[in-house]
Amino acid sequence: MSNVTVIGTQWGDEGKGKIVDWLASRADIVVRFQGGHNAGHTLVVGDQVYKLSLLPSGLVRGKIGVIGNGVVVDPKALMTEIDRVTAQGLVVTPETLWIAENAPLILPVHGALDRAREAARGEHKIGTTGRGIGPAYEDKVARRAIRICDLAEPETLDWKLDELLLHHNTLLAGLGAETFTKEQLKDFLTEITPRLLPFSCQVWDRLDEARRAGRRILFEGAQAVMLDVDHGTYPYVTSSNTVAAVAASGSGVSPSSVGFVLGIAKAYTTRVGEGPFPTELHDQTGRTLGERGHEFGTVTGRPRRCGWFDAVLIRRAVRVGGVSGIALTKLDVLDGLDEISICVGYELDGQKTETFPSAPGAQSRVKPVYETMPGWKETTAGARSWAELPAQAIKYVRRIEELIEAPVTLLSTSPERDDTILMRDPFED
């Protein structure tokens, strides 16, 4: 028996919600280890629809939810989410939700700076969610973040706020944006402290205890490898590492606790925000994928850019992300297409290459080299076994496995939880 870590292998929105929900029902504890409320997924349980950004999905299944130290926590967004799911009947208490006391906070200055900087970037904007994620991570690394444990020490807060404001107000003023007073931030913190502090604890210690007791832990990644701050399409990325290795450092457990790494990949590709996307389709096929796949951002509602499956990028995500097996989602969106293409390499400045370059200029110049296969007319939606899949769809999945050098261990054929073909149970690995 193993723990399981779920990560996205493309640019996010691969349909993690359904897979994580299915796995969460088999886990004891579900841990978020990076990102913040820039993530978003929708869980459908019975007649209830839960929209989660920051809370670990396991809470919906009555499991313990953990927010690790690698997450940046917007306390207002967290409380709003807790209030919303509580109104829907979930019970969120310090017994069911553990938040790392060493997690950094997202404060109103961070969102303001994120948005002011995006506005100033003009055509080079990143297309962030505007939620202060980048500035909050910058403060953590610069050692000026306010962490949850600081809320219990008014004398620490006092000097940390001075340092924080000196930095942020200088930047905000330079960008022509409104600055903040110490009183404003103090009022904000005074309001959230009594609600937030009771949830905070030494998460690493409790997870260690859980490990000794043989409890199953599911680590729930947010965003995806191509948005990783080191391995993604920098600078068009998020501000955290999204690879599976971070499940350990972002929650305070041993690297060996990460367990089976399940990488989620959509049967085609989507991206929200700006940045390179070699297989993006600007034609009717791209629009068809977007319409059929309901490709609109969960957090911002922005339409997602759509394109063919890029096997080169996913092979890279498999390697750097430490992926043991792939959960392939939304295969049914390809039903009925005459032909389906897979990107198997690139052309860069007239040269063939199988490597995605690192510099942004070269990344935006690469042209995909496609392998095209016939599509299938039958529907794959709702299939629950290989036998129910058209032969051509099976060929497509098998070709993907060869190209990305990883097995497809789970196949999702509709948003319904049971419309899943399981080849290998990751918890039993």
Are the C-beta atoms of residues 288 and 282 closer than 8 Å to each other? no
Is 13 annotated to bind a ligand? Reply is yes
The count of residues in the chain is: 429
Using CB under 6 A, pick the residue from 5, 9, 12, 117 that binds ligand IMP. 12
For residue 303, give the DSSP letter.
Answer: B
Quick one: CA torsion of 112, 115, 120, 125, rounded to 10 degrees? 150
Choose among 6, 5, 11: nearest CA to 238: 11
Q: Does 360 bind ligand IMP (CB under 6 A)?
A: no
Q: Is 127 in the site for ligand IMP (CB under 6 A)?
A: yes
> What minimum distance in Å lies between the beta carbon of 11 and ligand IMP?
6
Q: Is residue 197 a known part of a binding site?
A: no
Rounded-to-integer distance, Cα 128 and Cα 116, Å: 11
* Separation in Å, CA 34 to CA 219, 228, 248, 336: 10, 11, 10, 38
Whole-Å CA distances, 131 to 35, 77, 173, 230, 300: 11, 10, 19, 21, 10
Is position 20 an interface residue for ligand IMP (rule: CB under 6 A)? Answer: no
Whole-number Å distance between alpha carbons of 285 and 377 = 16
Q: Is 298 annotated as a binding residue?
A: yes
* Of the residues 78, 133, 333, 410, which one makes contact with ligand IMP according to CB under 6 A: 133
* Smallest separation, CB 127 to ligand IMP (Å): 4
Distance CA 330, CA 92 (A): 32
Please list the alpha-helical segments (H only) found in 65-153: 75-87, 108-121, 133-141
Per-residue CA distances from 312 to 26, 63, 235, 392, 403 (Å): 32, 37, 20, 21, 8
User: Contact letters (x/-) for ligand IMP, 84-123, by CB under 6 A?
Assistant: ----------------------------------------
According to the annotation, is 9 in a ligand binding site?
no
Q: Which residues contact 5 (CB under 8 A, 6 or more apart)?
A: 218, 219, 221, 244, 247, 258, 259, 260, 261, 262
Query: Catalytic residue at 168?
Result: no
Sequential DSSP letters for 196-255: HGGGEE-HHHHHHHHHHTT--EEEE--S-GGG-TTTSSTTSS-SS--STTHHHHTTT--G
Q: Would you call 140 a catalytic residue per the annotation?
A: yes
Count CB-CB contacts under 10 A for residue 338: 10
Q: Which of 21, 37, 41, 168 is flagged as catalytic?
A: 41
- Which H or E run contains 343? strand 339-348
Closest separation between CB of residue 350 and ligand IMP, Å?
30
Site for ligand IMP in 376-415 (CB under 6 A): none
Instruction: Report if residue 270 touches ligand IMP, rule: CB under 6 A.
Output: no
Positions in 57-76 near ligand IMP (CB under 6 A): none
As given in the structure block, the two tokens for residue 334 are 């390809």
Site of tokens 């910058």: 138
Contact between 242 and ligand IMP by CB under 6 A: the answer reads: no
Residue among 37, 63, 110, 140 flagged as catalytic: 140
Q: Binding to ligand IMP by residue 313, rule CB under 6 A?
A: no
238 binds ligand IMP (CB under 6 A): yes
Contacts of 264 (CB under 8 A, 6+ apart): 6, 7, 8, 9, 14, 15, 16, 19, 224, 326, 327, 329
Q: Which is nearer to ligand IMP, 24 or 383 (CB)?
A: 24
**Shorter beta-carbon distance to ligand IMP: residue 126 or 421:** 126
> Does 125 qualify as catalytic in the annotation?
no
- By the rule CB under 6 A, 39 interacts with ligand IMP: yes
Q: Is 216 annotated as a binding residue?
A: no
Report the distance separating Cα 198 and Cα 353, nearest Å: 54
Residue 299 assigned to a binding site? yes
Does 382 belong to an annotated binding site? no
**Binds ligand IMP by CB under 6 A, chosen from 97, 227, 342, 408:** 227
Question: Applying CB under 6 A, does 128 fall inside the site for ligand IMP?
Answer: yes
Among 3, 102, 200, 223, the residue binding ligand IMP under the rule CB under 6 A is: 223
Query: Of the listed pieces 10-18, 102-110, 373-381, 388-396, which binds ligand IMP according to CB under 6 A?
Result: 10-18
363 touching ligand IMP, by CB under 6 A: no
Per CB under 6 A, 272 contacts ligand IMP? yes
Nearest distance, CB of residue 237 and ligand IMP, angstroms: 6
- Contact footprint for ligand IMP (CB under 6 A): 11-13, 38-40, 126-129, 131, 133-134, 222-223, 227, 236, 238-239, 272-273
Which residues belong to the annotated binding site for IMP? 13-16, 38-41, 129, 143, 223, 238, 302
Binding-site sequence positions for GTP: 12-18, 40-42, 304, 330-332, 412-414
Q: List, as residue ranges, the binding site.
A: 12-18, 38-42, 129, 143, 223, 238, 298-304, 330-332, 412-414
Residues designated catalytic: 13, 41, 140
Residues at the binding site for substrate are 298-304
